[in-house]
A and B are shown apart, each in its own frame.
Chain A
Amino acid sequence: QSVLTQSPSVSGAPGQRVTISCTGSSSNIGAGYGVHWYQQIPGTAPKLLIYGDSNRPSGVPDRFSGSKSGTSASLAITGLQAEDEADYYCQSYDSSLSVVFGGGTKLTVL
């Protein structure tokens, strides 16, 4: 059981908007620690998508955006494309543990 909770799967049609949630607690996200998001295409290494709640590294399309409120964070993907089909992981820091990851969400593009 992961410290950060993510829905196992989400799906959407090309062009649609989907959101992936990441729920934590007062010892991690709720304590103000940053939330980061990674995209992992099967068989490849994770790739940083969003850091510090809502910042995009250079090269990441602005179709990807992140937000945080209270003990939860969200990743939104607009204008869904077939190439977005992947696993998505959130990550933060927990004051009782250390670096923590969500269990991952599999995005299927219909």
Chain B
Amino acid sequence: EVQLVESGGGLVQSGGSLRLSCAASGFTFSSYGMHWVRQAPGKGLEYVSAINSNGGSTYYAKSVKGRFTISRDNSKNTLYLQMGSLRVADMAVYYCAREGAAGQLDTWFDPWGQGSLVTVSS
């Protein structure tokens, strides 16, 4: 079964740091680009970051650029999101997701992890 399991969420003060992990199983992790999408409480989905299959190319939304770092360890089948200088506006459920079509700009996301809640206090 293809599965993504996130961990690492929690409560952090404004200005603090947190690292999310996303453990993949059931597929060849090193063959797929991976993505992070977040959802603030009661809000819609926001695209956050992406990394290609070998980790050589990354993308960040303007809202997190310079503060978040996406990375992956293909030997451990794990995706990471290092979040720094956290703001109240970053408070959300963070989902990791696998790309549906390798290397395609208009790819879809399937599957998604269960989500990891990041709470930022002021």
Main secondary structure on A side of the interface with B: strand
Instruction: Tell me if B108 is interfacial: C-beta within 8 Å of chain A.
Output: yes
A52 to chain B: which residues have CB within 8 Å? 108
Once A and B bind, how many residue pairs between them come within 8 Å at the CB atom? 59
Q: CB distance B47 to A101 under 8 Å?
A: yes
State A14–B51 Cα separation when bound (angstroms). 42
B interface residues, how many (CB within 8 angstroms): 22
Q: CB distance A104 to B105 under 8 Å?
A: no
Q: CB distance B61 to A93 under 8 Å?
A: no
State A44–B114 Cα separation when bound (angstroms). 7
A36 to chain B: which residues have CB within 8 Å? 100, 108-109
A interface residues, how many (CB within 8 angstroms): 24
Q: CB distance A89 to B45 under 8 Å?
A: yes
- Contacts A45-B114, A89-B45, A99-B35 known; list 7 others, CB within 8 Å: A33-B105, A36-B108, A38-B45, A48-B110, A93-B107, A101-B44, A103-B44
Residues of A that sit less than 8 Å from B by CB: 2, 33-34, 36, 38, 44-48, 51-52, 57, 89, 91-93, 98-104
